[in-house]
């Protein structure tokens, strides 16, 4: 991919295709213009996929699409997952859609990476709003690669060797037992009936770029393997505080028609819960990912 940088805008040019990219932050995040996802050709979709790896968070405005178009776009970008391993979004949406409705506890006001409590977390997420409050409800993303790069070298060496457990029971265990009767959705070909904690590297290597990122999050990471509880809490507190420093974050203020893609392999995100009693409804589709691997696995 060839990039011609013209701060604060960047134009990406690949194989005769082009669109405008306005940077959201100095190191990651971009607003894309010059593309209609409903009619995009294969070259434009391929370029979007490359831009996602490069910028990690992509914002597209004025994309007034329905669920079916949302799912078709995701299928052109990669293989889609079911909407969520546990959550029931109802019969009114396609199976691939995860509906988050603030009127039904559909909040995401804790820093997290989507579905890291499964062995193969989604590679990417595509989110759009259906109902927005008059103001508030912004979403923030933090860059795990920037956080890893800016850690002190001794801490990077320690992090490279660590593994942590991610536990979906922290957020969805009660819901699975009480509202779903212990029977969740079909995820990766298997019925989810329990949420067994899974082990992932604390530092994840991106399967496409080869770059390293911190891969822990307060939403689902329960503890670090092989250290005491006190040491685990101390290390995770250090990583979380560093990961969510303001210089590692971009923030998006939503408008109807927005479509936001993010790379789930190297970012965490947080949706502000500052708009109640107003309502916020979002629909998300995710792309199937690989099993995370780290420096000690390669």
**Annotated catalytic residue: which of 72, 114, 242, 265?**
114
**Annotated catalytic residue: which of 70, 223, 283, 284?**
284
112 in catalytic set: yes
246 backbone dihedrals φ, ψ, rounded to 5°: -55, -35
List the Cα angle 24/243/248 in 5-degree steps. Answer: 20
Beta strand 2-6 pairing with 186-187: unpaired
**Annotated catalytic residue: which of 166, 204, 252, 269?**
269
269 in catalytic set: yes
**Annotated catalytic residue: which of 70, 112, 200, 280?**
112
3-state helix, strand, coil in the chain (%, to 5): 25, 30, 45
Say how far apart CA 25 and CA 248 lie, in whole Å: 9
Q: 96 with 71: CB under 8 angstroms?
A: yes
Q: 114 with 236: CB under 8 angstroms?
A: no
Say how far apart CA 236 and CA 159 lie, in whole Å: 10
Catalytic residue positions, numbered:
112, 114, 269, 284
């Amino acid at each position: 991919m060839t990039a011609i940088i013209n701060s604060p805008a960047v134009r990406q040019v690949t194989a005769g295709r082009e669109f405008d990219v306005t940077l959201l932050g100095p190191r990651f995040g971009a607003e894309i213009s010059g593309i209609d996802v409903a009619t995009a050709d294969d070259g434009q979709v391929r370029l979007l996929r490359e831009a996602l790896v490069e910028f990690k968070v992509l914002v597209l405005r004025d994309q007034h699409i329905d669920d079916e178009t949302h799912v078709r776009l995701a299928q052109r970008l990669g293989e889609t997952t079911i909407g969520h391993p546990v959550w029931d979004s109802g019969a009114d949406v396609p199976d691939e859609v995860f509906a988050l409705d603030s009127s039904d506890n559909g909040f995401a006001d804790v820093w997290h990476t989507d579905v890291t409590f499964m062995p193969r977390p989604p590679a990417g997420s595509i989110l759009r709003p259906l109902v927005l409050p008059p103001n508030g409800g912004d979403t923030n993303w933090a860059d795990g690669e920037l956080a890893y790069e800016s850690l002190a070298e001794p801490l990077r060496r320690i992090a490279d060797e660590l593994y942590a457990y991610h536990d979906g029971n922290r957020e969805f265990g009660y819901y699975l037992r009480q509202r779903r009767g212990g029977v969740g959705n079909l995820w990766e070909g298997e019925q989810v009936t329990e949420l067994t904690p899974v082990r992932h590297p604390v530092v994840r290597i991106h399967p496409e770029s080869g770059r390293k990122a911190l891969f822990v999050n307060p939403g689902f990471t329960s503890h670090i393997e092989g250290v005491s509880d006190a040491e685990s809490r101390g290390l995770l507190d250090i990583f979380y505080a560093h990961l969510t420093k303001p210089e590692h974050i971009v923030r998006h203020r939503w408008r109807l028609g927005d479509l936001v893609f993010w790379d789930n392999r190297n970012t965490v995100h947080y949706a502000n819960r500052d708009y109640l009693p107003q309502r916020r409804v979002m629909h998300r589709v995710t792309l199937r990912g690989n099993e995370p691997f780290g420096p000690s696995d390669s």
